[in-house]
Chains A and B, each alone.
Chain A
Amino acid sequence: MVNDHELPLTIARIQFAFTVGVHIIFPAFSIGLSVFLTFLEGMWLKTNDNRYLNLFKYWLKIFSIVFGMGVVSGIVMAYEFGTNWAGFSAKAGPITGVLLSYEVMTAFFMEAGFLGVMLFGLNRVGRRMHFFATCAVTTGTLISMTWILASNSWMQTPQGYVIDQKTGHFLPHDWLAIIFNPSFPYRITHMGLAAMLSVAFTVAAAGAWHLLKAKKGGTQADSTIRLMFSLSLWMIVITAPLQIIAGDMHGLNTLKYQPAKIAAMEGDWTSETRAPELLFGIPNMKTERTDYAIGIPLLGSFILTHDINGKVPGLKDYPADQRAPAPIVFFSFRIMIALGGLMLLCGLWSLWLRRRQRLFDHPLFLRVILTMAPAGFLALLCGWVTTEVGRQPWTVYGLLRTKDSTSPLALSSLSFSMLFFVAVYLFVFGSGLLMLIRLLRATPEAADNTSDDIMILGSHHHTISQNKDAS
């Protein structure tokens, strides 16, 4: 399948996908969680209800670990463009490099500068200043998302540049057009919602675990846990349908600007009107057809164009060397959609249970929510695989091929770095995950409501040893 001279390229691509795939989990977690933390602290300031403070401190510990892992895995990304994609950096650096620099200056420094205050400052600054720091960190994560998605979206739907005839470099000529490129608004909405949903499901699953545990012990979980569970389900009820609408609009936009990608996502080989929507099938790149296809008539045209007579593109419209690997895109897209559907159902179910006042003690529901813990992150990764693999064989869509984006590296160097990253990431981020799970098994402690002198991280040892005794 892969011939020898393509092997370095293949390793470079797998390596990039692996490192960015691990990275994105943490930023998404940080974005969603910082929004949640801001809400919790805001509610605490407003209502003086200590349950909010307890929840804030509880999730702040998680945040500190997740954020740290986001930082270290992100630094790898900032250098990987140069190490693995020198061709891309040399040609597109004048555009994507500048956007990344703005991300550093407007977002990374702001997050880092106020993170210290947010984590360690509650006993040094007043409540208001502390809340300001929390807001600054949250704003930082959102700004960071904005720039990186502007950059990625520009690579998907480039505009506002001229190509230097001599060197083949991209010369920026309209920065607003570059930033506000056609896929940017859709991508940022979709990604922002994805971050919220991912965190909502994580928080809900933690709540479900404690509720189930209490139930097994024959007691009732305390009201802090119930508040947390209820809040996270409200978040799901609101964001899950919005995400589906945003995804649908995103798809319409992609059909307009990257029809070849849509053809791969749908497993359609010939362009047709009144196309079916395939539920299952195995696209075959050799025979140019989709085997074992099971579809619903007309639905494909309807979803993609909002008209049953709409015309959808087919892969055969494009030369064979401009087609994305359809099987990967086809399946990752379907997994994302299926998970999005399940999330919506969870939200609706919670509404129903709420009305019947059984939200906190319906065992099957609690177990389903518990298993949905990684669903958001899984959907998010599948979404990115769809986006990025679907863009192949281009790094800058229609202009710069992936095979012309590489660095002049020896196969041995690439193999070394690949093994090195896999080993380090599995070990370090695996340990991190175990720590997160251990932290989540502790319950939010009762806050000392007599003073403001809360040493937030001072309670770590305490929490964990308590937890060990309990389990």
Chain B
Amino acid sequence: MSGLAFYLPFIWAFIVILAISVYVILDGFDLGIGMLFAFEKKPEHRDIMINTIAPVWDGNETWMVLGGATLFGVFPGAYSTLLPAFYIPIIIMLGALIFRGVAFEFRIMAHSPNHRAFWNTGFMTGSTLAAFCQGCILGGYVQGVHTSHGAFAGGAMDWLTPFSVLCGLSVVTGYALLGTTWLVWRTSDELEARCRRWSKRLSILMILCIIAVSCWTPFLHAPYLHHWIAFPNILFGLPVPLLVALAGFLMWRTLDKEHAITPFLCAIGWFLLSLVGLAITIWPYAVPPTLTLWDVASPIPSQLFQLVGTVILLPIITGYSIYSYYLFRGKVTKADGYH
């Protein structure tokens, strides 16, 4: 394989993982806040929770569109096998995201308390279901997809296994934790105190999920196990569990104190470490266990043309996204009410 044909998919895999990670973290706390509507019933608190994300959620969700479009353009072989393979959970996720997305506007515009209650429920259910589907897709992806001649050749329900359900529940837990720790940072008084309590319970659950998924994954396919125990991979792999433990320790310490943003950063750390762990496991497959990155990549001119744009545009996008977060910074109280 010539230089570019070898390195470009490598660079692109990195960018795709980056886009997915940013999506998971940013929309993770949006979806988490949606789930918390199940436990937080006070209308003022609900409004504050929504107000912390109203100006930014749309930008957060756009990272998911970027992930999909990048796969489409750069790894069309993966896009065209994975999407049919996860047809059912993707369709349900899209439906759930529709309810979640319109609920932002509809619950405000509702003309009667019943309507408002309905869209609040839609917001909660949509967020939870979307998160669960994303977890199932992730689990189904890790456990592998049946292909033949580069096209999907499995059944419609192949993705549904105990492992993928475990992953679904883990993602739900993780997003809820991102949501509560985000609120610890962005709210005050009673709501903040409740979120600190919730964060503690959720971080215990989260640790259990990470352990369960990590112990199960290496036994899904022989190469996965090999990746982890072979030398020198183990040197890259070993720090991951240690860092997870460190983040847990920090989280626990700071939840009792005045620290505002640290728990949120710890939750992000957990997500990043889990994703890195997964990437190490699966490498170099784009569609495990058969197609590698190089099998599914676009022709070089496509990858190059898109790379030029990405290298120029991603920093600009990051710039104005940060500006938008900065503009709406600080603890949100009722009085702020831009909704």
Chain A residues proximal to chain B, CB less than 8 Å: 64-65, 68-69, 71-76, 78-79, 81-83, 86-87, 89-91, 93-106, 108-117, 119-121, 123-125, 164, 169, 171-173, 175, 407-410, 412-413, 416-417, 420-421, 424, 428, 431-432, 435, 438-439, 455-458, 460-461, 464, 468
How far, in angstroms, from A424 to B5 measured CA to CA in the complex? Answer: 43
Chain A contacts for B155, CB-based, 8 A? 410
Bound complex: CA A408 to CA B158 (Å): 14
Residue of B nearest to A463 (CB): B109
Contact A72 B76 (CB under 8 A): no
For B90, what are the chain A residues with a Cβ–Cβ distance below 8 Å? 79, 83
Q: What's the minimum C-beta distance from B97 to chain A, rounded to whole angstroms?
A: 6
CA distance A64 to B62 in the complex (A): 16
26 CB contacts below 8 A, A to B, read: A65-B105, A65-B109, A68-B104, A72-B97, A82-B71, A83-B90, A89-B79, A93-B298, A97-B71, A99-B73, A101-B66, A101-B73, A101-B306, A105-B310, A105-B317, A109-B62, A109-B66, A116-B59, A116-B327, A116-B328, A169-B299, A173-B301, A432-B102, A435-B109, A439-B109, A460-B339
- B301 engages A103 (CB within 8 Å): no
CB contacts (< 8 Å) of B321 on chain A: these are 109, 113
Report how far A110 CA is from B312 CA in the complex, Å. Answer: 14
- For A456, what are the chain B residues with a Cβ–Cβ distance below 8 Å? 338
A78 and B80 in contact (CB under 8 A), knowing A169-B299, A408-B153? no
Q: A114–B320 contact, CB under 8 A?
A: yes
A79:B305 contact, CB within 8 angstroms: no
| Chain B residues whose C-beta falls within 8 Å of the C-beta of A412 in the assembled complex | 156
A117 CA / B59 CA spacing, docked (Å):
12
* Least Cβ–Cβ distance between B206 and chain A, in angstroms: 27
* B161 contacts A by Cβ under 8 Å: no
Q: Is B210 an interface residue (CB 8 A)?
A: no
Residues of A within 8 A of B91 (CB): 83, 416-417, 420-421
> Complex formed: what's the CA distance from A412 to B88 in Å?
11
Chain B residue numbers with a CB within 8 Å of A78 are: 65, 68-69, 72
What number of residue pairs across chains A and B have CB atoms under 8 A from each other? 251
B218 at the interface (CB under 8 A from A): no
Q: A93-B298, A123-B338, A435-B109 known; A112 and B73 CB under 8 Å?
A: no
* Ranked 7 nearest A-B pairs via Cβ: A93-B76, A116-B55, A82-B83, A97-B73, A97-B72, A86-B80, A112-B59
Please name the residue on chain A nearest to B298 by beta carbon.
Answer: A94
| CB proximity of A186 to chain B, nearest CB, Å | 25
Partner of B61, one of A75, A93, A113: A75
B62 & A108 in contact (Cβ 8 Å cutoff) = yes
Indicate if B151 sits at the interface (CB-CB under 8 A).
Answer: yes
CA distance A457 to B337 in the complex (A): 9
Q: Is B269 an interface residue when CB atoms closer than 8 A count as contact?
A: no
Residue of A nearest to B320 (CB): A113
Closest to B56 in A: A116
Smallest CB separation, B320 vs chain A (Å): 5
Do B108 and A104 have beta carbons less than 8 Å apart? no
With contacts A409-B156, A413-B88, A438-B111 taken as known, whether A458 is within 8 angstroms of B338 at the C-beta atoms is yes
Question: Shortest beta-carbon distance, A331 to chain B, in Å?
Answer: 31
Which A residues touch B290, using CB under 8 A? none
Chain A residues whose C-beta falls within 8 Å of the C-beta of B101 in the assembled complex: 68, 71-72
**Nearest-Cβ distance from residue B219 to partner chain A, whole angstroms:** 29
**Which one of A119, A410, A464 contacts B156 once the chains associate, using CB atoms below 8 Å?**
A410
Let me know if A408 and B84 touch, CB within 8 A.
Answer: yes
CA distance A152 to B110 in the complex (A): 37
Q: Is B283 an interface residue (CB 8 A)?
A: no
Contact mask B231-247 → A, CB, 8 Å, 1/0? Answer: 00000000000000000
Residues 178-213 of B at the A interface (beta carbon under 8 Å)? none
A82 and B328 in contact, given A104-B65, A173-B301 (Cβ under 8 angstroms): no
Which chain A residues border B173 with CB–CB below 8 Å? none
User: Of B62, B80, B151, B310, which is in contact with the most chain A CB atoms at under 10 Å from its CB?
Assistant: B80
Cα of A103 to Cα of B151 in the assembled complex, Å: 27
Q: Which of B66, B82, B150, B156 contacts A82 (CB 8 A)?
A: B82
CA of A89 to CA of B69, assembled, Å: 11
B34 at the A interface (CB under 8 A): no
Residues on the A chain within 8 Å of B82, using CB: 82
Q: How far is the CA of A99 from the CA of B74 in the complex (A)?
A: 11
Taking Cβ atoms with an 8 Å cutoff, the residues of B that contact A are: 54-56, 58-59, 61-62, 64-66, 68-74, 76-77, 79-84, 87-88, 90-92, 94-95, 97-99, 101-102, 104-106, 108-109, 111, 150-153, 155-156, 298-299, 301-302, 305-306, 309-310, 313-314, 317, 320-321, 323-324, 327-328, 337-339
Contacting pair A435 B84 (CB below 8 A): no
Query: Which residue on chain B has the smallest CB distance to residue A432?
Result: B102
Q: B77 CB to closest chain A CB, in angstroms? A: 6
A73 and B102 alpha carbons, distance in the complex (Å): 10
Say yes or no: A86-B327 contact (C-beta < 8 A), given A97-B73, A116-B59, A464-B111. no
**CB neighbours of A468 from chain B (8 A):** 111
Q: Which residues from chain A contact B302 at a C-beta distance below 8 Å?
A: 94-95, 97-98, 171-172
Give Cα A93 to B80, complex, Å: 9
Q: Which residue of A lies closest to B327 (CB)?
A: A124
Nearest-CB distance from B79 to chain A (Å)? 5
CA distance A420 to B92 in the complex (A): 8
Nearest-Cβ distance from residue B243 to partner chain A, whole angstroms:
31
Can you name the residue of chain B whose Cβ is closest to the Cβ of A465? B111
In the bound complex, CA of A65 to CA of B98 (Å):
13
Residues from chain B with Cβ under 8 Å of A89 in the complex? 72, 76, 79-80, 83
Task: For A69, give its contact among B64, B74, B102, B151 (CB under 8 Å).
Answer: B102
**Min CB–CB distance A470 → chain B (angstroms):** 13
Least distance between B333 CB and chain A CB atoms (Å): 14
Please tell me which one of the listed residues B55, B66, B153, B299 contacts residue A171 in the complex, with CB atoms under 8 A apart. B299
B54 cross-chain contacts in A, Cβ below 8 A: 116, 120
Whole-angstrom distance from the CB of B115 to the nearest CB of chain A?
A: 9
Q: Which residues of chain A are near B153, meaning CB under 8 Å? A: 408
Q: CA separation between A81 and B69, bound complex, in Å?
A: 10
Contact B309 A105 (CB under 8 A): yes
State which of B61, B73, B81, B98 has its C-beta within 8 Å of the C-beta of A424.
B98
- Chain B residues with CB below 8 A from A65, complex form: 105-106, 109
Most A Cβ at <10 Å: residue of B55, B58, B88, B309: B58
Distance of A147 Cα from B313 Cα, bound (Å): 15
Partner of A98, one of B56, B305, B338: B305
B338 near A117: Cβ-Cβ < 8 Å: no
**Residues B94 and A102 in contact, CB atoms below 8 Å apart:** no
When C-beta atoms are compared, the residue in chain A nearest to B58 turns out to be: A112
Q: Are B317 and A113 in contact (CB under 8 A)?
A: yes
Picked from A90, A104, A424, A455, the residue with its CB within 8 Å of the CB of B62 is A104
Q: Contact at A93–B79, with CB atoms within 8 Å?
A: yes
- B301 CB, nearest partner CB in chain A, Å: 5
Contact in complex: B301, A413 (CB < 8 Å):
no
A64 touches B105 (CB 8 A): yes
Contact present for B327 and A175 (CB under 8 Å): no
Given contacts A108-B65, A409-B84, A468-B111, 7 further A-B contacts (CB under 8 A): A83-B91, A86-B80, A113-B321, A116-B54, A416-B88, A458-B339, A464-B111
Q: Is the CB of A172 within 8 A of B337?
A: no
